[in-house]
């Protein structure tokens, strides 16, 4: 696998490989179910390939049904529902044997939203204090996985006060495994976590609609080879929303699980039917031809908007904030929201002439955008008087 | 630029809102704006729940004073006041220190949340010391002044029986109530009486036919279909929730969860019916 990573990363469908997974037929809610298990890296936890992200529900019976259906890992966070999400889980697991489920939660600390770096209030003490509150809400002595929540920069992955807190929590027996969660600039975060050697698990956004999925895939492969457990999220991003943004749910889940380096996926159920649909993919994880066609069709819609890969950073001689400008372009033409676009453009304090004086643009976009053209287009918003804003 | 101007139709509402100026404090940095597609950049996985409550836009402003204290004001706008109430109710801490700000607000050390009109506001403070609450309340009140009429709680909440109702436990579930897509949305409240904890709910639809359709689908789902579905009481044996008593009348379905005692269930169904009658009369 290692020698062919770069090539494989770019393939939309991966060739079949030995998945190193176990299949068990279990009885759940009076019915026989086929469950497929993979091992979460060096943690050794054997998990079904589908698990539950609890963030969308306060319905304890839905969580009970998920556990009774064979799901083992419940994923929550200190901040979800202002802590009520953890309390709901606490109510469900009360009385269940502690070795019959796994809990993953996440602790966030103050971050500068522009830089993605932790700020003053991000201390070891605060992290540990929040963990203690989470343990109390959950009614457990320890969680199986504790993530530093929502990280998008390598500096934040390596942030000493947080690493110290994770280490201390392990020593105190309050967590079994340390992790990091990311859904922005994922490849950088995953590589940093691999290099840090402080993380046992990575929870990452990963789906077929990400334009930079090859980079995510390659980063995951490297992390997995280093023994880090990989959990996917946002695999069916928006599929259960109204209107759905992904049409083929089973295909989307199978797509991420075709990657042998993904050990499990968490999905956010809100109905009993969702649980059945998502678990049903374990009957056969192979993508069917109709599923492949549908995914290809959805993925082939031309990439009109920036995917936030960050490759362009530092390439502009005028140091223009290209990803922000591309986001403004997306607000204008995809979201049809000029207010957001103008707010963003104005906030960037651009020079009076933008992309008009360079004879050559060295910026190389990973998906081939004509970056200066798009910038010139959207930068004009800063000069539109606000009285023209309303029609 | 003509394309751009044409697209400019839906933004006046968002442009109307201004963060207030507060004496002794300066806005640090620019106001940030988030919309459904990028809300997760700000609140990570919690964004999905906000999307279920028809989140439309978030504006974030940060203020600092000379003592290097800071206050962050998050203004979430939802499609309707009901949806704003829904997400507020999902995050409301029943034991918090409640305040008369907007429709309702509450304070806990370091943060203050409140509801006003279609807005849900979350304010947080760092390094504000012993004046923490005072500072946050001042910011909340000044910000609320710029957000239009505060409105009120959904009127249907008044129909919930008062006896045993847990304070501040009312919620609006926007979708997939009880884990069933066909039940759509519902209002719920938690109760405790004679050491028994249970939940009451009411579903309000546009008309009688929608309620009939719901009851029919529910009966099919629990494999107890009936030929003639008429208004009245139903005791359902739900494979996930156990025995549920519910009553359908007109455009309302109300019921009880997690309560075994039949006489108490009947009592509460009756009390709820009386509350709904009063509510309908007062509307």
- Report pLDDT digits (tens) over A118-136: 988 899 999 999 999 999 9
| Residue A160 clears pLDDT 70, i.e. is over it | yes
**Which residues of chain A are within 8 Å of residue B52 when distances are taken between CB atoms?**
56, 241, 270
Distance from CA of B6 to the nearest CA of A (A): 7
How far apart, in whole angstroms, are the C-alpha atoms of residue A134 and residue A147? 12
Lowest mean pLDDT among A81-85, A207-211, B104-108: A207-211
Query: Per the CB < 8 Å rule, is A381 touching B4?
Result: yes
Give the per-residue pLDDT at B9. Answer: 36
Distance from CA of A342 to the nearest CA of B (A): 10
| Residue B30 clears pLDDT 70, i.e. is over it | yes
Q: Which residue of A has its CA nearest to B52?
A: A241
Q: pLDDT tens, A273-328?
A: 999 999 999 999 999 999 998 888 887 654 566 766 667 877 888 888 888 888 78
Listed by start position, the domains of chain A span 2-297, 322-388
Strand partners, B70: B64, B126
Give the per-residue pLDDT at A386. Answer: 60
Q: How confident is the model at residue A237 (pLDDT cuts 50, 70, 90)?
A: low
Query: Per the CB < 8 Å rule, is B7 touching A273?
Result: no
Query: Per the CB < 8 Å rule, is A84 touching B91?
Result: yes
How far apart, in whole angstroms, are the C-alpha atoms of residue B165 and residue A67? 30
**Which residues of chain A are within 8 Å of residue B128 when distances are taken between CB atoms?**
none
Q: What is the CATH number of domain A2-297?
A: 3.20.20.100
Catalytic residues of A: 80
Higher pLDDT, B193 or A386: B193
Within A226-363, residue ranges assigned H as helices are 249-257, 272-280, 289-299, 322-333, 338-347
Give the per-residue pLDDT at B211. Answer: 97
| Residue A29 clears pLDDT 90, i.e. is over it | no
Q: Which residue of B has its CA nearest to A105?
A: B45
| Residue A167 clears pLDDT 80, i.e. is over it | yes
Query: Can you tell me the mean pLDDT for A60-82?
Result: 96
**Which residues of chain B are within 8 Å of residue A327 when distances are taken between CB atoms?**
38
How far apart, in whole angstroms, are the C-alpha atoms of residue A199 and residue A203? 11
Q: How confident is the model at residue A390 (pLDDT cuts 50, 70, 90)?
A: very low
Query: Can you tell me the mean pLDDT for A90-96?
Result: 97
Give the per-residue pLDDT at B258. Answer: 94
- H helix or E strand, kind and range, residue B152: none
Q: List all residues 6 or more positions away from A45 whose beta carbon is below 8 Å from its beta carbon.
A: A39, A73, A102, A144, A177, A229
Q: Using CB atoms, which residue from B42, B93, B178 is nearest to A113?
A: B42
Q: Using CB atoms, which residue from A55, A270, A389 is nearest to B15?
A: A389
Query: Per the CB < 8 Å rule, is B90 touching A58?
Result: yes
Q: pLDDT tens, A170-185?
A: 999 999 999 999 988 9
Over pLDDT 70: what percentage of chain B?
Answer: 94
Query: Per the CB < 8 Å rule, is B40 touching A29?
Result: no
Q: Which of A112, A153, A336, A385 to mutate to test the interface with B (most CBs of B within 10 A)?
A: A336
Q: Which residue of A has its CA nearest to B110?
A: A121
Over pLDDT 90: what percentage of chain B?
Answer: 80
Q: What is the CATH number of domain B155-282?
A: 3.40.1000.20
How far apart, in whole angstroms, are the C-alpha atoms of residue B6 and residue A390? 9
| Residue B243 clears pLDDT 70, i.e. is over it | yes
Query: Per the CB < 8 Å rule, is B40 touching A121?
Result: no
- Mean per-residue pLDDT over chain A, rounded: 88
Give the per-residue pLDDT at B17. Answer: 79
DSSP states along A107-144: E---B-TTT--B-TT--HHHHHHHHHHHHHHHT-S-EE
The interface predicted TM-score (ipTM) is 0.86
Higher pLDDT, A112 or B221: B221
Q: What is the pTM of this model?
A: 0.82
Q: Which residue of A has its CA nearest to B60?
A: A113
- Mean per-residue pLDDT over chain B, rounded: 91
Which phi-psi region, left, alpha or beta, contains residue B137 (left: φ > 0; alpha: ψ -120 to 50)?
A: alpha
Q: How confident is the model at residue B15 (pLDDT cuts 50, 70, 90)?
A: very low
Query: Per the CB < 8 Å rule, is B5 touching A344?
Result: no
Neighbour count for residue A323 (Cβ, 10 Å): 17
Q: pLDDT tens, A246-269?
A: 678 899 999 999 999 999 999 998
Give the per-residue pLDDT at B187. Answer: 98
Distance from CA of A298 to the nearest CA of B (A): 18
Spatial CA neighbour of A221 closest among A384, A366, A4: A4
Q: How confident is the model at residue A334 (pLDDT cuts 50, 70, 90)?
A: low
Residue B112 C-beta-side C-alpha neighbours within 13 Å: 26
Q: pLDDT tens, B63-111?
A: 999 998 999 999 999 999 999 999 999 999 999 999 999 999 999 999 9
Query: Can you tell me the mean pLDDT for A190-212?
Result: 94
What six digits make up the tokens of A93?
């697991």
How far apart, in whole angstroms, are the C-alpha atoms of residue B155 and residue B274? 15
Give the per-residue pLDDT at A313. Answer: 75
Give the per-residue pLDDT at B177. Answer: 97
Q: Which of A56, A84, A115 to mutate to test the interface with B (most CBs of B within 10 A)?
A: A56
Q: Using CB atoms, which residue from A82, A183, A344 is nearest to B33?
A: A344
Spatial CA neighbour of A173 closest among A223, A98, A118: A98
Q: How confident is the model at residue A387 (pLDDT cuts 50, 70, 90)?
A: low
Give the per-residue pLDDT at B81. Answer: 97
Give the per-residue pLDDT at B3. Answer: 40
**Which residues of chain A are within 8 Å of residue B239 when distances are taken between CB atoms?**
29
Give the per-residue pLDDT at B4. Answer: 41
Given a contact cutoff of 8 angstroms between Cβ atoms, the answer to whether B279 and B254 are in contact is no
What six digits make up the tokens of A35?
């469950």
Count of CB pairs separated by less than 8 Å, A with B: 138
Q: Which residue of B has its CA nearest to A240?
A: B52
Indicate the length of chain B as a whole number: 283
Given a contact cutoff of 8 angstroms between Cβ atoms, the answer to whether A389 and A338 are in contact is yes
**Which residues of chain B are within 8 Å of residue A242 when distances are taken between CB atoms?**
175
Higher pLDDT, A317 or A335: A317
Q: pLDDT tens, B41-74?
A: 889 888 989 999 999 999 999 999 999 899 999 9
Query: Per the CB < 8 Å rule, is A336 touching B175?
Result: no
Q: Which of A120, A343, A376 to mutate to test the interface with B (most CBs of B within 10 A)?
A: A343
Choosing among 1.25.40, 3.30.70, 3.40.50, 3.40.1000, the CATH entry for B20-145 is: 3.40.1000
Given a contact cutoff of 8 angstroms between Cβ atoms, the answer to whether B111 and A79 are in contact is no
What six digits make up the tokens of B89?
């109710």
Give the per-residue pLDDT at B14. Answer: 41
| Residue A6 clears pLDDT 50, i.e. is over it | no
Residue carrying the six token digits 């049904």? A65
Q: Using CB atoms, which residue from A79, A271, A343 is nearest to B179?
A: A271
| Residue A1 clears pLDDT 50, i.e. is over it | no
Query: Can you tell me the mean pLDDT for A42-63?
Result: 96
Distance from CA of B175 to the nearest CA of A (A): 8
Give the per-residue pLDDT at A72. Answer: 98
Distance from CA of B66 to the nearest CA of A (A): 16
Query: Can you tell me the mean pLDDT for B13-19?
Result: 65
Q: Which residue of B has its CA nearest to A110?
A: B126
Query: Per the CB < 8 Å rule, is A62 touching B179?
Result: yes
Distance from CA of A17 to the nearest CA of B (A): 32
Give the per-residue pLDDT at A31. Answer: 83
């Amino acid at each position: 696998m290692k020698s062919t990573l770069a090539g494989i990363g770019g393939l939309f469908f991966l060739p079949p490989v030995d998945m190193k997974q176990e299949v068990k037929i279990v009885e759940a809610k009076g019915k026989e179910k086929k469950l497929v298990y993979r091992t979460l890296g060096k943690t050794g936890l054997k998990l079904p390939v589908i698990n539950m992200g609890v963030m969308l529900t306060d319905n304890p019976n839905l969580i009970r049904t998920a556990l009774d259906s064979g799901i083992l890992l419940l994923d929550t966070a200190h901040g979800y529902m202002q802590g009520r999400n953890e309390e709901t889980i606490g109510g469900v697991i009360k009385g269940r044997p502690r070795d019959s489920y796994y809990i993953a939660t996440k602790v966030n600390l103050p971050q500068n939203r522009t830089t993605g770096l932790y700020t003053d209030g991000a201390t070891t003490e605060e992290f540990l204090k929040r963990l203690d509150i989470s343990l109390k809400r959950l009614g457990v002595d320890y969680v199986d996985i504790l993530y530093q929540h929502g990280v998008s920069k390598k500096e934040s992955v390596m942030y000493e006060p947080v690493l110290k807190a994770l280490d201390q929590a392990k020593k105190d027996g309050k967590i079994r495994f340390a992790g990091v969660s990311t859904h922005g600039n994922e490849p950088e975060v995953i590589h940093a976590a691999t290099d840090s050697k402080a993380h046992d698990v990575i929870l990452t956004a990963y789906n077929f609609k990400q334009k930079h999925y090859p980079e995510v895939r390659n980063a995951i492969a490297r992390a997995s080879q280093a023994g880090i457990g990989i959990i996917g999220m946002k695999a069916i991003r928006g599929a259960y929303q109204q209107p759905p943004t992904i049409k083929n749910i089973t295909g989307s889940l199978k797509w991420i699980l075709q990657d042998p380096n993904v050990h499990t996926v968490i999905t956010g159920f809100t109905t009993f039917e969702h649980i059945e649909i998502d678990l049903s993919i374990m009957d056969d994880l192979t993508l069917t031809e109709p599923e492949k066609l549908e995914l290809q069709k959805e993925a082939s819609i031309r990439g009109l908007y920036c995917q936030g890969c960050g490759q362009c950073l530092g390439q502009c001689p005028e140091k223009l904030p290209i990803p922000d400008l591309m986001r403004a372009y997306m607000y204008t033409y995809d979201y049809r929201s000029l207010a957001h676009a103008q707010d963003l453009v104005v906030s960037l304090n651009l020079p009076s002439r933008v992309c008009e004086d360079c004879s050559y643009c060295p910026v190389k976009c990973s998906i081939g955008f004509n970056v200066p053209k798009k910038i010139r287009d959207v930068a004009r918003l800063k000069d539109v008087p606000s009285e023209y804003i309303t029609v | 630029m003509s394309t751009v101007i044409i697209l400019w139709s839906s933004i006046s509402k968002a442009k109307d809102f201004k963060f207030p100026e507060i004496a002794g404090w300066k806005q640090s940095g620019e106001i940030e704006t988030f919309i459904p597609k990028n809300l997760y950049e700000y609140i990570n996985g919690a964004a999905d729940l906000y999307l279920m409550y028809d989140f439309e836009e978030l504006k974030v402003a940060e203020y600092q004073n000379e003592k290097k204290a800071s206050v962050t004001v998050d203004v979430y706008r939802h499609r309707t006041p009901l949806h704003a109430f829904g997400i507020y109710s999902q995050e409301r801490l029943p034991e918090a220190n409640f305040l008369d700000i907007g429709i309702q607000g509450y304070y806990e050390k370091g943060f203050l949340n409140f509801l006003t009109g279609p807005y849900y506001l979350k304010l947080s403070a760092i390094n504000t010391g012993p004046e923490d609450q005072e500072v946050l309340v001042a910011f909340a009140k000044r910000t609320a002044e710029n957000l239009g009429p505060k409105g009120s709680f959904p009127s249907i909440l008044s129909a919930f029986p008062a006896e045993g109702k847990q304070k501040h436990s009312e919620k609006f579930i926007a979708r997939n109530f009880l884990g069933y897509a066909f039940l759509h949305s519902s209002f719920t409240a938690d109760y405790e009486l004679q050491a028994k904890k249970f939940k009451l709910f009411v579903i309000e639809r546009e008309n009688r036919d929608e309620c009939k359709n719901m009851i029919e689908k529910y009966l099919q789902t629990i494999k107890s279909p009936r030929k003639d579905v008429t208004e009245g009481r139903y005791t359902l044996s739900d494979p996930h929730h156990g025995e549920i008593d519910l009553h359908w009348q007109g455009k309302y379905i109300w019921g009880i969860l997690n309560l075994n005692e039949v006489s108490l269930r009947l009592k509460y169904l009756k009390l709820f019916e009386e509350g709904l009658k009063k509510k309908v009369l007062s509307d």
